[in-house]
Amino acid sequence: MRFFSGKSAQTRWFKAILAALCATLLACSDNNSQKHLAQVKAKPDPYTIRFVTINSPSTYFIDSQNNYAGLEYDLAKRFVEFLGPPYKLEFIVVDSFDKVFPTLLRGDADIAAADISITPARKRQVLFGPAFNQVQAMVVYNRDKNNEPNNAEALFEKRIVLPKSTSFVERMRELQSKSPALTWKETDKLSSEQLIEAVARNEIDFTVADNHLVAIMQYNYPQLDAGMMLGQADKIAWALNKLHGEERLTQMQAFFKKIEKDGTLRNLLDRYHGHTKRLKPVDVTAFLSKSHTLLPKYVRLFKSAQEITDIDWRLLAALSYQESHWDNYSTSPTNVRGLMMLTEQTSNMMNVTDRLDPKQSVMAGAKFLLWMKDRIPSRIPEPDRTFMTLAAYNNGVGHLEDARIIAQKLGLNPDSWADVKRGYQLLNDPAYYVNARHGYCSCGAPVIYTELVRSYYQIMQKYFPAYDPGVDPYKIAETKIPWLLAKAS
């Protein structure tokens, strides 16, 4: 059987070929149209500022209150507010530092904000904005397992792992050029934070990290320490794509000039790093040990106080530890007593009949803290208002107001804790306290007090979950600190 014959067959064959060609051309046309539409849709909104970052305590994270936080996040948010409507903020969070620059350079982000050190190699790749912080690369080690590494020879034949594509690799290469026997491994699977934790668990001997991150991590793992410095201190800045970053750079320069002048930058740096050098490793070890042995007896009381005052139970517990080290029978030479170290005046004010009764002490201390907070202007943003409340709990609201007035006279911001600390420190100077309403004050004490409570609170947030009365009533959190328990046994 023949499918085609004669002219009629040829005609039908030609028409079939023509139809197939048309269908193919139409399909190609549709595909090209779809590709074009996709390209149009993919074009970024010029008023959406896309920041690429990583998760870390120094950059971007979700805090214990389920809010976005981090120095880079706060700066980015304020930058977009500085630009004003219709600008909007978008964050692109990559899972390793190794992916930050590729994301920026292929145009998927406008600004890289990931605790980025300015180095000669990177300056050849990207544009840098103004430096807003300074860090020092340090060798991190576990003092329980290794001696302090203070020279290159101490690093030979050790398990060293660094996060790939970071400035730490550049610093190690500089050291290796003088000590060729030095070797290490690089990873894009683990962050600096995770590598520091690996050092704490003795899974590796050393890593390299910025001094700020090391200080934060030491609050969670007091066996950590910083050894030798690698190179000079690095400046931290945002990075831009050289191909289309010039206009954004001008905006960035104006923004950082403004926040340096008005104290916003100083306040943010203090918020994230101002308290991280107060505790010594022995202090952290003692706190973690007592959080396992003593704290469980009082967790229910702190959570009950949170239900009444809406103050995070972990902050109340941190304050109580600073006051009494969770010793219910603690008594000072001035007869301040109990878990919250209440004075007789405060006890009378809060109708406390027995300051050594833990239930009365915790509830009265929490209510008194809330009463103090109500004395402080509500316009003061958080967490600064809470920091000032802690200082007032320790030393009275009068000296706090004097410190705020001094800060204002110095041209500083009286609503910023970082600036009020400066005012406090001047209240022992006759040039200032003679004109202060409440006179002389040895006011280094409330500053140190506040920073210590902040430090303990940070540790509490690491090991104990937040309490939601509607979801988890009176459930006592378990304290899981394996390395500490192993050390105790």
Active site amino acids:
323
Annotate the chain with three-state secondary structure.
CCCCCHHHHHHHHHHHHHHHHHHHHHHHHHHHHHHHHHHHHHCCCCCEEEEEEECECCCEEECCCCCEECHHHHHHHHHHHHHCCCCEEEEEEECCHHHHHHHHHCCCCCEECCCCECCHHHHCCEEECCCCEEECEEEEEECCCCCCCCCHHHHCCCCEEEECCCHHHHHHHHHHHHCCCCCCEEECCCCHHHHHHHHHCCCCCEEEEEHHHHHHHHCCCCCEEEEEECCCCEEECCEEECCCCHHHHHHHHHHHHHHHHHCHHHHHHHHHHCCCCCCCHHHHHHHHHHHHHCHHHCHHHHHHHHHHHCCCHHHHHHHHHHHHCCCCCCECCCCCECCCCECHHHHHHCCCCCCCCHHHHHHHHHHHHHHHHHCCCCCCCCCHHHHHHHHHHHHCHHHHHHHHHHHHHCCCCCCCHHHHHHHHHCCCCHHHHCCCCCCCCCCHHHHHHHHHHHHHHHHHHHHCCCCCCCCCCCCCCCCCCHHHHHHHC
